[in-house]
Amino acid sequence: MGDLEKAARKAQEFRQREREILDAALALFLEQGEDRVTVEMIADRVGIGKGTIYKHFETKNEIYLLLMIRYEEDLAELFRQIAQSPDKEQLAREYFRFRIGDPRRYQLFDRLENKVIKDQAVPELVEKLHAIRAANLDNLTGVIESRINDGTLEDVPANYHIAAAWALAHGAVGLMESPFYRKFIDDKEDFIDFLVSIGIRMGNKGQRGR
């Protein structure tokens, strides 16, 4: 095996180990809460030494941000996949499914963002996160504006529709993670379907009675 091939293989193994660390960290954060999870716990879950973690990540804030970046990149990939779909409601349906389909993850990333912003941590990764999010918002805005132009949605600023969708998703996630909800709603999958159907119709032209 030549030096270049060895270097390429080593780089591939490094990236694979990084993915394993991030996957283990996410699982632990969801299971136990991010404040209780230590670097040692993450290393034990992966089956590596604590020192190996620090070869990939300097701080937990870096892990937090890379997980959030991956989340936004998944959303960007979703937008790319359905950009050419003839089903104009598909984006709204998939968007709500993405946001509320895993409420614990949604709440985790909401908390983590508040932590890293407060700590002013890893500014270059915060900048990358915001750049990806801005691109996602641009894509979403473009879809909304096309639906306003074809008469499907109310002719209001696109950010009204985006903010309304965010409010519904945020409220839905809070509800689904509340102890009361777990007792109050028996068929949770059917309820999610109901919420998604509301999200798809929300903002349609004529619903405000004008």
Secondary structure (DSSP) of 33-52: -TTT--HHHHHHHHTS-HHH
Tell whether the model's pLDDT for residue 36 goes beyond 70. Answer: yes
Across the range 175-196, mean pLDDT stands at: 84
Residue 64 pLDDT class (50, 70, 90 cuts): very high
Question: Percent helix, strand and coil across the chain, each rounded to 5?
Answer: 75, 0, 20
Across the range 42-62, mean pLDDT stands at: 92
Question: Which residues lie below 8 Å from residue 31, measured CB to CB, with a gap of 6+?
Answer: none
Instruction: For the chain, give the percent of residues with pLDDT over 90.
Output: 44
Across the range 32-49, mean pLDDT stands at: 94
Lowest mean pLDDT among 124-133, 167-176, 201-210: 201-210
Look-up: residue for tokens 């409420």? 103
Tell whether the model's pLDDT for residue 27 goes beyond 60. Answer: yes
Instruction: For the chain, give the percent of residues with pLDDT over 70.
Output: 98
Q: What angle do CA 36, 41, 42 make, to 5 degrees?
A: 105
Contact indicator for 125, 131 with CB cutoff of 8 Å: no
Tell whether the model's pLDDT for residue 84 goes beyond 80. Answer: no
Select the more confidently predicted residue: 5 or 159.
Answer: 159
**Other CB atoms within 10 A of residue 30 CB:** 15
Distance CA 185, CA 201 (A): 22
Lowest mean pLDDT among 64-73, 82-91, 128-137: 82-91
Query: What is the chain's mean pLDDT, rounded?
Result: 88
- 49 φ, ψ (degrees, to nearest 5): -80, 155
Local structure of residue 140 (DSSP, 8 states): H
Contact indicator for 157, 203 with CB cutoff of 8 Å: no
- pLDDT tens-digit map of 141-161: 888 888 899 898 999 999 999
Tell whether the model's pLDDT for residue 19 goes beyond 80. Answer: yes
pLDDT at 209: 62
Distance CA 121, CA 117 (A): 7
- pLDDT tens-digit map of 95-143: 888 888 888 999 999 999 888 888 888 889 999 999 999 999 998 888 8
